Amino acid sequence: MGPAALPLLNGAPLLLTEPAGGARMVRVTRVAAIDCGTNSIRLLIADVDPATGVLEDLVRRMEVVRLGQGVDRTGELHPEALARTLEATARYAEEIRELGAERVRFVATSATRDARNRQEFVDGVRAILGVEPEVVAGDEEARLSFAGATSMLGADGGPYVVVDLGGGSTEVVLGEAEPSAAHSMDVGCVRMTERHLHDDPPAPAQVQAARADVRAALDAAVAVVPVRQAATLVGLAGSVTTVTAHALGLDRYDRDRINGAELAVDEVLAACESLLAMTREQRSALGFMHPGRVDVIGAGALVWSEVVRRVRDEVAAGGGTLDSVVTSEHDILDGIALSAAGRL
């Protein structure tokens, strides 16, 4: 029997072939996912097993382009930031073509949502990639982040509170197999740096103002998301993974050690305070520190410390205990890839 074809998702074919042994093999779907946030643009090219939905990474890249440069103040994407981001998109497009991804999904989040001139960015991405970039709302960002994070977590750890701490926004999601409540806060490492943390290291008054801003945002979040139900708190994205690398005492960034790391709440808070108090020169000397995070990791650590404290205290108020925090390297990028393959 020769090759056969049958429709899969969105009309794309899933090819079945019969090898010498007689067993039919199902061809995986190759997808490309791009997550364009306020600080970085990331690419994942992966093969997706159509039976299990498991992703096999082929390429996973990240470039710090700071698309959100000045957006909190001006409400517009800066021309230089646009140029940097479109140049990175062009590099990603070449890899996507070389590896033959069948489906591509480009998702833009906080900075693009907030910008009056986002159509210029959307048009530029479409011209480069040949697909329509999606400027997603906070709820969709939260859904994709939750799906990506929980794709690698066991069912026994829920309910989960998943927190995706980005450059311009932070998503807080509660759920088990699926999200049950979500809220997007307009706080993130780039936004809080530009708004409050101007000195090196930040002055106490600046830190106090930033904390007040984050706490007000958390007040609104917990009114929508009952985080006190959490059995497990999971943190995602670059600020959280960098704090985790610091807490683990790594001399270089090690994705395998960071992914799934479970740290005591006190360890996480101590690592956050340490990074916040450092000068930029001291941060840049840390072997795990990406150069593009040096100036904003203090704010990222501040946001994460406030989130961890608040969730811990809310769980305690509900009669429970939250002693530890889990870090996941699987996040919105994995969720975008899964959605591109029709798994969500």
Question: Average pLDDT, stretch 253-270?
Answer: 96
pLDDT above 90 coverage of the chain, percent: 71
What does the alpha-carbon distance between residue 252 and residue 286 come to, in Å, rounded to a whole number? 8
What does the alpha-carbon distance between residue 98 and residue 325 come to, in Å, rounded to a whole number? 39
Contact 282, 291 (CB under 8 A): no
Count of other CB atoms within 10 angstroms of residue 106: 26
Q: What topology is assigned to 152-333 in CATH?
A: Nucleotidyltransferase; domain 5 (3.30.420)
- What one-letter code names the amino acid at 337? A
User: What are the start and end residues of each CATH 3.30.420.150 domain in the chain?
Assistant: 152-333
Tokens of residue 94, six digits: 């070449």
The SS3 call for residue 169 is: coil
Identify the burial level of 158 via C-beta atoms within 10 angstroms of its C-beta, where 0-12 means exposed, 13-18 middle and 19 or more buried: middle
Contact 185, 63 (CB under 8 A): no
What does the alpha-carbon distance between residue 173 and residue 168 come to, in Å, rounded to a whole number? 17
Question: Average pLDDT, stretch 43-71?
Answer: 89
Tokens of residue 154, six digits: 């066991």
Using DSSP bridges, classify how beta strands 324-328 and 262-264 pair: parallel, antiparallel or unpaired: antiparallel
Q: Which residue has the higher pLDDT, 158 or 262?
A: 262
pLDDT in tens, 82-137: 999 999 999 999 999 999 999 999 999 878 888 899 899 999 999 999 999 998 88
Treating both helix axes as pointing N-terminal to C-terminal, what angle do 332-340 and 138-150 enclose, rounded to 10 degrees?
90
Rg (CA), the chain: 20
What does the alpha-carbon distance between residue 172 and residue 181 come to, in Å, rounded to a whole number? 8
User: What are the start and end residues of each CATH 3.30.420.40 domain in the chain?
Assistant: 4-138
Using DSSP bridges, classify how beta strands 160-165 and 170-175 pair: parallel, antiparallel or unpaired: antiparallel
Contact 38, 166 (CB under 8 A): yes
Q: Which residue has the higher pLDDT, 198 or 25?
A: 198
DSSP 45-63: EEEE-TTT--EEEEEEEEE
Give CA torsion, residues 310, 314, 320, 321, to 10 deg.
Answer: 10
pLDDT above 70 coverage of the chain, percent: 91
Distances (CA, A) of 171 to 106, 138, 186: 19, 7, 9
- What one-letter code names the amino acid at 107? V
Which residue, among 138, 114, 306, has the nearest Cα to 209 in the 3D structure? 306
Residue 155: the pLDDT is: 61
Tokens of residue 122, six digits: 């959307």
Q: Could you tell me the CATH superfamily of domain 4-138?
A: ATPase, nucleotide binding domain (3.30.420.40)
Most confident residue range from 37-41, 107-111, 230-234? 230-234
Instruction: Give pTM, 2 decimals.
Output: 0.85
pLDDT in tens, 182-192: 999 999 999 99
Give Cβ neighbours of residue 323 (< 8 Å, ≥ 6 apart): 264, 265
